[in-house]
Amino acid sequence: MDTGGKESWGSAPDAAAIDALARVAIAQLPDVFRQYLGDVVLQVEEFADAETLQALGIDDPFALSGLYRGRPVGEKSISDNAALPDIITLYRRALLDEWVESGETLERLVTHVLVHEVGHHFGLSDDDMHALEDAPGP
């Protein structure tokens, strides 16, 4: 294919590609975690909307690559049956920006962000997750 002397790089991964990577990451989680994710909705959006960014005190939409909305597993009760579903949203443009800047593989980055949001589903705070990430391995 003639590209007129310019390098052909293809196109950036679309929302479906990010979704597919996230679903592979979910499938690789241990059963003990996966069993609590069946009702969690996974979605991919370009950016967080202005209302979400404002609520989180974030000015730059590229600064938010994922978000969990819902009640953590340990806080749920039988009376939650009319509650909205728990949702994990991955933000495609922020992920792609971080991918380019970090040098990580996109698979690894999507998995990292997804696992972080799953951590919120289980009631872990950002500080809890950073402590787990920084802890020495087995």
- The string of pLDDT tens digits covering residues 65-79 is 999 998 887 766 566
Average pLDDT over residues 38-62: 95
Which DSSP string do the residues of 79-110 spell out, in sequence order? GGGGSPPPEEEEEHHHHHHHHHHH---HHHHH
Q: What is the three-class DSSP state of 32? A: helix
At residue 24, the pLDDT reads: 95
